[in-house]
Amino acid sequence: MAKKPITRKPSKTPTDLSPDQPLSGQSPRQASPLPDDVEISPSYAQVQGQGGETHQTATNGAPVLTTQQGVPVADDQNSLKQGARGPTLLEDFHFREKIFHFDHERIPERVVHARGYGAHGFFELTESLADISRADIFQRVGERTPVFVRFSTVAGSKGSFDLARDVRGFATKFYTKEGNWDLVGNNIPVFFIQDAIKFPDLVHAAKPEPDRMFPQAQTAHDNFWDFISLTPESMHMVMWIMSDRAIPRSFRTMEGFGVHSFRLVNTEGQSTFVKFHWKPKQGLQSVLWNEAVKINGADPDFHRRDLWDAINGGDFPEWELGVQLFDQAFADKFDFDVLDATKIIPEEILPVRSIGRLVLDRVVDNFFAETEQVAFCTQNVVPGIDFTNDPLLAGRNFSYLDTQLKRLGSPNFTHIPINAPKIPVANFQQDGHMAMTNPKGRVNYEPNSWGVTLGGPREDPVRGFRSYADEADDAKLRIRPESFADHYSQARQFYISQLPIEQKHVADALVFELSKVERPDIRSRMVSHLRNIDENLAATVAEGLGLPQLPAPAQAAVATRTDLPPSDALSIVKNGPASFRGRKLGIFLSDGADAALFAALVKAIDKIEAIYEVIAPNIGGVTLSDGTKVAAKQKVDGGPSVLFDAVALVISEEGAALLATDAATQDFVRDAFGHCKFIALTAAAQPIFIKSGIADDLDEACIPLTSAKDAAAFVDQLGVLRHWPRELKVDLDAK
Query: Residue 667: in which H helix or E strand, if any?
Result: helix 663-674
Report how far residue 610's alpha carbon sits from residue 526's, in angstroms, rounded to the nearest whole number. Answer: 43
DSSP-based three-state secondary structure for 201: helix
3-state secondary structure 573-624: HHHCCCCCCCCEEEEEECCCCCHHHHHHHHHHHHHCCCEEEEEECCCCCEEC
Report how far residue 687's alpha carbon sits from residue 658's, in angstroms, rounded to the nearest whole number. Answer: 10
Look at strands 679-682 and 646-650 and give their pairing. Answer: parallel
Taking alpha carbons only, the member of 707, 651, 644 closest to residue 678 is 644
C-beta neighbour count of 561 within 10 angstroms: 14
Q: What are phi and psi of 307, to 5 degrees?
A: -65, -45
* Residue 560 near residue 492, CB atoms below 8 Å: yes
Is 536 labeled as catalytic in the residue annotation? no
Give me the catalytic one of 180, 186, 427, 448.
186
* Residue 575 near residue 244, CB atoms below 8 Å: no
Query: How does DSSP classify residue 368?
Result: I
CA dihedral over 229, 233, 239, 241, signed as positive or negative: negative
Q: What are phi and psi of 355, to 5 degrees?
A: -125, -5
Q: Is the peptide bond before 447 cis (omega within 30 degrees of 0)?
A: yes
Kindly provide the residue ranges of all beta strands, DSSP E only, lying in 327-477, ordered along the sequence. Answer: 353-363, 385-386
Give me the catalytic one of 55, 94, 101, 113.
113
Taking alpha carbons only, the member of 43, 56, 163 closest to residue 442 is 43
Report how far residue 227's alpha carbon sits from residue 208's, in angstroms, rounded to the nearest whole number. Answer: 14
CA distances from 335 to 276, 561, 568 (A): 20, 11, 19
CA distances from 276 to 72, 266, 688 (A): 23, 17, 49
C-beta neighbour count of 125 within 10 angstroms: 19
In the chain, count of helices (H) and strands (E)?
A: 20, 18
Report how far residue 440's alpha carbon sits from residue 376's, in angstroms, rounded to the nearest whole number. Answer: 29
Is 101 labeled as catalytic in the residue annotation? no
Active site residues: 113, 186
